[in-house]
Amino acid sequence: MTKASTTANVRASLKYLEHADGQHAYNVGVNEKRETEHQGDFVNVDVAVANARLLDETFSVDTHGFALVDQVSDVQDFYDDTALDQVYNREIKETLAAIAGATHVEVFDHTRRSSSSNIREQRAIREPAAVIHNDYSEQSALTRLQGHFKDRENELESLIKKRFAIINVWRSINGPVLQSPLALCDARSSCFEDLVAVKRVAKNRIGELQLALYNDRHRWLYFPEMTPDEVLLIKTFDALDDGRARFTLHTSFQPHNAEQDMPARESLETRCFVFFD
């Protein structure tokens, strides 16, 4: 085992929203470097991030908001859009049916990221998200759903009668993740009052996501050295409010003791509408 996989906890500085007052915005790729700009007042908080691989705990999207599962893909090049469309989408649908119990899955977005500015420039992709957030608010989840089905209204009318959720399927696409891994907040340790809905501004869409206020109850975990043969399922919205996880805070981070010359992270997140009978 490597040092990273045997260390129980690491410490890291995570970026919280300092307060809920004022004007806040999450501006995606608006500058010439295509980097995200965070508008508002933020505070960095030093927290412990537990190595989830060492815990005697079975993680699930309904309880914790996330789960790590094995998923060996037939895709050889995750920068190949045709391969994602013809191969990967089917694989992800099968995984979500088997693991999450979904009866219908719609893939609606792929986002590639890298911690290397050179790779980002070469590939025209985005940087790791370095502020604590959840991808959707209740309003933006519904708006995104309606936009996805705008030309299939009859199908939506049938599907919307079912419970639906949004699950982000996150994976490494080039070797183990050694830089900028993903920290996840156990959904049981956060509450709705910790979440602040913030405008998300992109070149082709204005939406809404959630940023986080600090709460010392937050329990942070990560899965070190994720490989391309496993994926994180992160539930970012659930329409059903019955006590199960509905929103999952997460962020990239660097452990305080991380080596500086690690290979760059390259990752893919695939967002899906997931329907249940």
Report the CATH number that the domain containing residue 199 is assigned in CATH: 2.60.120
pLDDT score, position 153: 92
pLDDT score, position 128: 95
pLDDT score, position 253: 97
Contact 215, 190 (CB under 8 A): yes
- Alpha-helical segments (H) within 3-100: 3-6, 81-83, 89-100
Q: pLDDT tens for residues 23-38?
A: 777 777 645 456 777 7
pLDDT score, position 3: 47
| pLDDT beneath 50: ranges in the chain | 1-3, 30, 32
Tokens of 113: 């990221």
Residues 6+ apart with CB under 8 A from 64: 184, 186, 187, 188, 245, 248
Predicted model pTM: 0.93
Residue type, 18: E
pLDDT score, position 1: 41
Domain count, the chain: 1
Q: What residue numbers bound the domain in which 146 lies?
A: 3-276
Residues 6+ apart with CB under 8 A from 100: 61, 165, 167, 233, 274
pLDDT score, position 41: 86
